[in-house]
Structures are given as C-alpha cells and as structure tokens.
Amino acid sequence: MNVQTEKIALAKRLLETDDETILLEIKQVFESHQKDFWNDLPPHVKAGIERAKKQANEGKLTAHDEVMKKYAKYL
C-alpha cells in the first residue's frame, strides 16, 4: 500500500461526500488519535509546568490584574 496514494484517494472521497455522519465520524477518528503534546515537551519545560502547578495548588499565585497594575508602566 502506498500511503500517499491512499491519502489522495481518501481526500477525494472526503471532498465528494455531503454525508454529515461520515464527516463527524472522520472527525472523531482524528480527535481520538491526537498526539499528546506533553510527550514532545523538553524536560525543562515539563519541570516548569509541574513547578507552576505545585505553586498554584499551594496558593502561591498573583492575580493577573495585580501583575498588570504593577507592570503597566513598562508596557
């Protein structure tokens, strides 16, 4: 099976159909097979996110409005 040929054939069939059920089913297939971006993140980014989640759980947050007031003069 040639992948490019299959993709083209499927694309043609997709463009020719007006069946909403088929379109929704195809959409569901793609959504259910979406790749989890987390696995592609570098370790330092994952660590930063985990650190931020921990800080949020501990209530160590500053409201957006407060930050904007403080730094508005620099924007």
pLDDT of residue 72: 92
pTM over 0.85: no
For the cut 80, the answer to whether the pLDDT of residue 55 exceeds it is yes
Among residues of the chain, what percentage have pLDDT more than 90?
76
Residues 58 and 25 reside in one and the same domain: no
pLDDT of residue 31: 85
Q: Which amino acid is at 20?
A: E
For the cut 90, the answer to whether the pLDDT of residue 33 exceeds it is no
- Distance in angstroms (rounded) separating the CA atoms of residues 58 and 18: 52
Q: Which of 61, 41, 64, 65 is nearest to 52 (CA)?
A: 61
Number of domains in the chain: 2
Going by C-beta distance under 8 Å and a sequence separation of 6 or more, which residues neighbour residue 46? 38
Residues 18 and 7 reside in one and the same domain: yes
Residues 75 and 42 reside in one and the same domain: yes
